[in-house]
Structure 1
Amino acid sequence: MEFRDLKKQYAVMKEEIDLAVAEVISSANFISGTQVRKLEEQLAEYVGVKYCITCANGTDAISLALRIWGVGEGDAVFVPDFTFFSSGECPAFARATPIFVDVDDRTYNMDPDRLERAVCKVKAEGKYNAKAIIAVDLFGLPADYDRIQSICKKYDLLLLEDGAQGFGGSIRGRKACSFGDISTTSFFPAKPLGCYGDGGAIFTDREDWAELLRSYCVHGKAGNDKYNNIRIGVNSRLDTIQAAVLLPKLKAFREYELDCVNQVASWYTSSLKNGDLILPEIVSEYSSSWAQYTVQLPKYANRSAVQARLKAAGIPSMVYYNRPMHMQGAFAGTDSAKADCPVTDYICGRVLSLPMHPYLSEEEVWKVSRNLKKALIEE
């Protein structure tokens, strides 16, 4: 059993993907080929924004967004404490100070009440300029944007939606990657929509920001003139081959993968309910793209032992995440390390992610569930 079965996905789409890649190779247009712009247009239409700018990876996408806003030294950027490192790494790389905020213990996304308290504290202390919020759509579920957007408006903060795991999720039909002033995603292979390497995208409704982002992505070029560099940029482009891979994968994602992965999640929930596990919670009017199906183990369970028993049964599992952001070594001795995040501290020791992808069968889900329950009984 695969944790995320990219081999099965390729087998299903082999003919379309092989043809798309062969077209790029035969044309030898490996950089900025027509497939890149076609993909950007389809992504923007799917998400429901005016502009999509692809780039080399999801981390670059966040860094480029912060660069557009001039985020830098003396600025505070509010980031959930329970997330992947790049969410906090990018503002720190820009020489801003990440302020880590605790999360909700059922959705795993940023807690708006704790966010507002953190913003008020930074403003009262006056050491940093409260500049922006990076809200993460963790495990496929959009963050509480009703509350977070109101906090941004109240305190004059910019909102960056990190939709690397949330692509395909929605709130009342509105798609993830449309809620931020700028939103970003990643096409890392294991993401809900992944390519066969690294890749990322940035979404916005502002034309001026879109033009700047396109310039920054290609060495600060002026429009289509790559030899007139009017600003200091970076080299962050999505390869044409990756765009070609993503086009048929986006079609499959829209037509059936998203529905399939929600079916898999419902099988897990049915087979694991009425036990000691805390299961993922999907808020009313929200939908998830299920980047992960993550449970919380009971207090009595030894997570390493449970994982070992699952592995012995041929079932892979992963821990996302075992260390809070504020305890990462890179932030040791900084103000970022002073975060008070008891929920994150607790769930980092209890979460366990199970195999999750659109091609899991009901029989496989029940096998995972039976063996997980058995592993807990043996504790």
Structure 2
Amino acid sequence: MKSGNFFKKHIAKKIFMQINDLSARIRAYENPIKLATNRVIDSGWLVLGPEVKKFEQLFANYLGSAHCISLANGTEAIELALRAFGVEQGDSVATVANAGMYTTTAMLAIGAQPFFLDVDLTTRNATLSEVERALAAGVKAVVVTHLYGLAAPEIGQIAQRCAQQGVPLLEDCAQAHGASVDGRRVGTFGDAASFSFYPTKNLGALGDGGAVVTANGAIAEKVARLRQYGWTTKYRVELSGARNSRLDEMQAAILAVFLPDLDAANARRRDIAAQYSTHIDHPDVLLPAPAGPEYVAHLYVVRSAWRDALRAHLRGMDIAAEVHYPIPDYRQPVFGSRFGSFSLENTERLSEEILTLPCYPEMTEAQVRQVVAAVNAWRA
């Protein structure tokens, strides 16, 4: 093939719209990222140094909490928070089953048993009534996930009820950085909260990362020890269930670059979601309910009884669409037949109908209009 023909072929190729274009974010912050990473390299301090301490303080202040203990990833944040609560092998822990298996994975690492909660069809989040069912069953702890960037509407009441029962509450905020209920950030209602800084999150690093946030000094101290071998002093191990789970200096420095713009990025996400909700008009596509500051639009998730056909149509229009998440936790092959007779009506219905559309701060207005037009042009 001649070079000229090769060039023309690739210029003519359509650009496939992704669910999240991370390269756009990196380009937008190229210079601040370079300054931050060069600062770390020049310092020669790469683990648990000043950049980690700075970010932990900044993030705790942003949320309005006392302590932030950064970790290697969000799943280990869930695990170590539960361990800090005193959850042990054989204990029962309440969790939803529609959030991608992450909390259940953390439980299995401890040897705890999941007590699965059903969710509301509209919010896709846990409800107070389901949490009360778990409390009546004697769970050791409760995990409430703020799914798709929407704060669980009853989180205040859930926190109050757990406190009355003496059962610790962990908020899984991996998809909800910056969301608030009645002026209060998610992550400050429970006894502790877990966050993920995976690159696609509303506050994402350029690699893995996570954190536990808490107002409880004893929980914070235990998580800090659990993240580094269970040391009480250097090389003296007193805590079991510990690991090496540390956010590195490079990622902490990068997160500190992104954090000041988090609210603005969330506002842009909400704007895109609002445009979808206003302009998508299709009888076979159910849109999420309108929302305000309680929603940071981590994902914009629609529903359709013909989900797979809609997804195929969008892919044919060069638009990515994903399913978050297709398999309820209790239906995962890892469990074999253990939950064979178990069923959660809303969870299973959602797994068959949900579809995620592209929604990220760097989307252009033309891309937003392209998604709207593609959905509206679909014939079920």
Q: Which residues of 2 match residues 208-227 of structure 1 at below 5 A?
A: 208-222=218-232, 225-227=233-235
* Counterpart residue number, 2:196: 186
Give deviations 1:321-340, integer Å, cap 9, x for gaps: 11111111223343x56543
* Counterpart residue number, 1:371: 374
Q: Which residues of 2 match residues 7-18 of structure 1 at below 5 A?
A: 7-18=23-34
Cα pair 2:65 2:188 within 8 Å, conserved: yes
1:329 matches 2:333: yes
SS at match of 1:130: coil
Aligned equivalent of 1:133, options 132, 142, 147: 142
* Counterpart residue number, 2:12: none
Structure 1 portions without partners, runs of 5+:
123-128
The letter of the residue matching 2:332 is Q
CA distance in 1, matches of 2:132, 2:281: 34
Cα pair 1:320 1:352 within 8 Å, conserved: yes
| Distance 1:337-1:42 versus aligned 2 partners, 3 A rule | farther
1:314 matches 2:318: yes
Between 1:230-239 and 1:6-15, the stretch displaced more is 230-239
Paired-residue identity, %:
32
| Distance 1:329-1:235 versus aligned 2 partners, 3 A rule | same
| Distance 1:337-1:115 versus aligned 2 partners, 3 A rule | farther
Aligned equivalent of 2:206, options 196, 208, 212: 196
Cα pair 2:197 2:210 within 8 Å, conserved: yes
Aligned equivalent of 1:235, options 231, 236, 244: 244
Cα pair 2:274 2:290 within 8 Å, conserved: no
CA apart distance, 1:36:
0.5
CA distance in 1, matches of 2:266, 2:42: 32
| Distance 1:339-1:78 versus aligned 2 partners, 3 A rule | farther
CA distance in 2, matches of 1:344, 1:216: 33
Structure-1-length-normalised TM-score: 0.91
The letter of the residue matching 2:286 is I
CA distance in 2, matches of 1:134, 1:109: 11
Structure 2 portions without partners, runs of 5+:
1-16
The letter of the residue matching 1:373 is N
CA distance in 1, matches of 2:203, 2:57: 16
1:294 matches 2:289: no
Give deviations 1:340-370, integer Å, cap 9, x for gaps: 3101111101000000101112221121011
CA distance in 2, matches of 1:117, 1:63: 23
The letter of the residue matching 1:61 is A
CA apart distance, 1:276:
3.2
RMSD: 1.7
CA apart distance, 1:31:
0.9
The letter of the residue matching 2:230 is G
Structure-2-length-normalised TM-score: 0.91
